[in-house]
Amino acid sequence: MSLSPLEIGAVVATVALAASAAWVLVRPYRRLAERVRPYAAVARVQLTRSVDVGGAAQPGPIFGDATLRRLFGPMVDTVVVWVGKVIATSNTDHLALRLRQAGLYPELPEAVRVQEYRVRSLLRSLGWAGVLGCFGLLVSGPSAMLLFAVLGFVYGVLSARARLDKGVSVRRERLRGELYTVNQLLAMRTRVGGGVADAIRHVVIRGNGALIDELAEVLRLHESGVALSEALRRAAHLTPEPQAARTYMVLATAQDRGADLGQALLDLSKDLRAARREELQREASKRRLLLVIPIVVVLAPIVLLFIGGPIPQIIFGGN
């Protein structure tokens, strides 16, 4: 019994969708690299390398250690890397930084995040290609199936990039919204006699949020042996929000030189509040402009018709 092209396309689309759903829903297991990360942090900083050892640890084969998986794993890795370069045109280090700034896959080491993102983006693109290919087969026959499949794959690639950019933008907004309050708390803690490390520890213990997570990582690196100023400068380099980077640099400078940290943080808070007020005013102006567009597009032609309707009768006369 032979299958028709429609039935074959439906089977391929079903398998692709099932594989995509399984990869997205099944949480990957935690690897050993995450456990040994604190013990290698000091040595990597001294060698001017990234503190996170995920970049140096090998993520291992995607499919495990079985015989067939060892045979086909390298081919799949090659395809994933090639498609990953198509989906994300930047190099691996920049992609890892963008994933970190977007807050995607925080439970995985850095190298595994990049591989996870590439594999999921590939499966999502193949899923869209299968769905739109079946749609093209149903609408126009086999001739349009390839065209619709290519369009679906391109849409999957663009949606993966848009998801990453949106994640970075959303996290930047969260950091900007939390920064004013955290600066005030740090300033109050330093005014009562606490140092930089004590102020950060005080805020981390009592707060939560995206900015608190970054400060908690700074504190973990400091407790593992990294100098506090170096950990703060690393956080300033990795954060997606420029105002948060300014705060980290002020904290690092105060740790090194003993400057008046409370007044500096209060000045940063004032600048942040002024910048936030200007941003809200610009956003309100844009929204008012968008509200005017429907009035001009919809109501203006109707008003012109009412005004211009009697003109022919006035000029030419008649009943």
Residue 291 covered by a domain: no
Q: What is the pLDDT of residues 218-240, one digit of tens each?
A: 888 888 888 888 888 888 888 88
- Beta carbons within 8 Å of 124's beta carbon, 6+ residues apart: 20, 24, 156, 159, 160
Question: Same domain for 164 and 190?
Answer: no
Which residue bears the tokens 């981390």? 204
SS3 47: coil
CATH number reported for the structural domain that contains residue 229 in this entry: 1.20.81
114 with 92: CB under 8 angstroms? Answer: yes
Question: Whole-angstrom Cα distance, residue 69 to residue 279?
Answer: 53
Residue 255 covered by a domain: yes
What kind and span of H or E run contains 195?
A: none
pTM: 0.63
Question: Whole-angstrom Cα distance, residue 172 to residue 269?
Answer: 17
Residue 311 covered by a domain: no
Question: Same domain for 158 and 190?
Answer: no
Question: Same domain for 226 and 109?
Answer: no
Sign of CA dihedral 114, 20, 240, 82: positive
pLDDT, position 54: 44
Question: Same domain for 20 and 149?
Answer: yes
pLDDT, position 59: 44
Residue 220 covered by a domain: yes
Q: Six-digit token pair at 124? A: 């999502």
Question: Same domain for 151 and 182?
Answer: no
Question: Same domain for 185 and 152?
Answer: no
Question: Same domain for 98 and 215?
Answer: no
Residue 243 covered by a domain: yes
pLDDT, position 60: 46
Confidence of residue 162 (pLDDT cuts 50, 70, 90): confident
Question: Same domain for 215 and 232?
Answer: yes
Residue 225 covered by a domain: yes
Question: Same domain for 162 and 192?
Answer: no
Residue 259 covered by a domain: yes
Domain that holds residue 221: 174-273
Q: What is the pLDDT of residues 261-280, one digit of tens each?
A: 777 888 888 888 888 888 88
Residue 114 covered by a domain: yes
Per-residue pLDDT averaged across 18-41, rounded? Answer: 61
Nearest in space to 177 (alpha carbons), one of 101, 276, 281:
276
Length of the chain: 319
- Domain ends where: 131, 147, 168? 168
Number of domains in the chain: 2
Question: Whole-angstrom Cα distance, residue 128 to residue 149?
Answer: 8
